[in-house]
Structures are given as structure tokens and as C-alpha cells.
Structure 1
Amino acid sequence: MSSVVTSRAQWFHTGRINILVALVLLSFFVLWFIRKAKRGEELYIRPIAGLEAVDDAVGRATEMGRPIMYVPGIMDMDNIQTIASMIILGRVARKAASYETPLLVPCCRSIVMSAAQETVKEAYLDAGRPDAYDADKIRYLTDDQFGYAAGVDGIMLREKPGAIFYMGCFYA
């Protein structure tokens, strides 16, 4: 036979006091940094090393006098990797426009090509170099994975880019 169970009021589980302490500390630091930001104090944000490497690669390709190649992957625009790739393409295109370096973007899907054209055109406008934008540098190759890989390889051999960015899915 089991004993009778009785209920009693509890605000929280006393065995989880560590979570309460962590929550209070986290809340304190969030509110403290919000207050610092509202007062206009300088907040240190650590630079992202990958974005600095992008700038270095674009600069190196410019010094070599070679174009930059940006491969957005083989997936369509409904894939999150391809969407993220378009955001990074904007940054690369802005740098390439400011350095007046040609940017090659071979695309595997027609919708990705349209998105890449708009992204690069907008980046060239932001950099103040709309005349340097060349829509022919953003090419549609093929929907076939291995045909696309062969096409990208051919562009690499012919154009000899100084920097190549692989973003998104590229299985082959």
C-alpha cells in the first residue's frame, strides 16, 4: 500500500536554484548593456575573422589583376544556404566594385541568377560604380550538378581567378 500524497504550494523547484541564479545574472548583464548603449557609450564588437578574410582575398585578387569568382552553390533560392550566400555576395560585390575588380558568378538555377544579378547591381550602386556593373559576368550554366561542376571548372581554367568563394551547397 502507498502512502497518501499531499500537495503543497511551491514557487519554484529548490533543486533548480542554479538556473534561477543564471537567469538573474543574464538578465542583469542584458539590462546593463542596454543601459550602456542608450547612454551612447562605446561598445566593443569583436570583428568577424571570416569577413576580414573576404576583404583580404578581394584585395589580393585586385593586386594580381585577376577576376574574383563567386560560386553560390547548386540549390535554389528556397534553401537557406543560398539565401545566406546572396548576402555574402553583396559584400564581395561591394568590395569588388570599389576596387574595380571583375566579379564572375556562375549560377546553377535561373532564379539564383536573377537574385545574383540584382544583388550585384545593388552592390555596385552602393559602391558608387554603377557603370562598372556587367550583367554578362553573372552566367547561367546548367541545372545538372556535374555539368555545373564542369562549367565552373572550365571558367576557372580560362579566367584564372585570383580569389574563389564557394558558398552554399556544392556537392560535386
Structure 2
Amino acid sequence: MPQDAGGSLTPWRTVRQLLVEALRVGHPDDPDHEDVRLVELLSVVHLGHDLLDRRPGTLSGGQRQRVAIARALATAPRVLLGDEMLSALDAPTRGAVAEALRAHADAAGTTLVVCTHDLDVAARLGVRVVVLADGRVVDDGPIALLAADDAGSAALRALRDASGRRTGALR
């Protein structure tokens, strides 16, 4: 999942075409259930089926990002790597999509590897956190490490301070 979801979506194809193509990669022997799967995928990312016949250029940045997430999930990946994959969403939508994505990944057996500066997203999506500074691992531990004010490296404390998230906000 690239950070710029809009750039990864073919502009002349509809959302339906983009998702069906991905579904056929993940479920090549199951064309009879495509419509049901489309609705399920859109539900995970909190989008309505009314977007299926629209093209990416007519969608907001947040909608494009969610279509890209749905497309990635449609392939039934064992591992999904996302780079700031929820960054274009407003806070309430980001939280809801993060929780739905975590539930979907758990149910599907998909491992999420998420690169983010957003500690709330990390806390909602993660089980384990790895913090890098200057290309080196400086923290590696359970997600609870994010909430402990006195734990972690200077890099993690700086992330906490920059995000305005202190212990109460992450618990």
C-alpha cells in the first residue's frame, strides 16, 4: 500500500473494475460471489457501494486511500505492508477504518506491517512496535510500549510529544 493511494489507482477504470481485478487475483475460482465480496470490502473501509461506478479522479483523497486499501485486501494477502496507509483520513474515519482493518486482518490471517508516524494508528493496528531512528532499530516491543511515558528511546518520546499523544490518549 503506497502512501499516495491516488497514484496507484488506474484513472480510467471504475472502483468496481479496480476491485474486481484484485478479487480475481485473490479468488480466481470464485466469480459468482464478486458482488458480495465488493460490498464486504467497501464495508471494511467504510465506503458505500454507490462509489463502485465512479472513477478515482472523482473521489476525495480519503476515499481513494480507502479504495486502495480495499483493493489490497481483495487479493487475500498473507502480509499487507502499508506506508502511512490511513494518513488521508480524518481522525474519526481513521480510527473506525483502523479498527475494521485490524478485525478483518485478524479474521483473514493477514499480517499487517504498517509504517506510520501516527501513534494512534500504530496502537489500533499493531501488536508489536518497532521504532527506527537514523535507520536503526531503537525500540522493539509490545504495542503497550507506546503508552508508557517513561519507557522507550528518545526517538519514541519525541514521537509521543510530536503527536500530542500521552499515556491517557493511547490507553
Q: Which has the higher contact order (CA 8 A, sep 6+)?
A: 1
Higher strand share: 2
Question: Which structure has the larger Rg?
Answer: 1
**Length-normalised TM-score, structure 2:** 0.31
**Length-normalised TM-score, structure 1:** 0.31
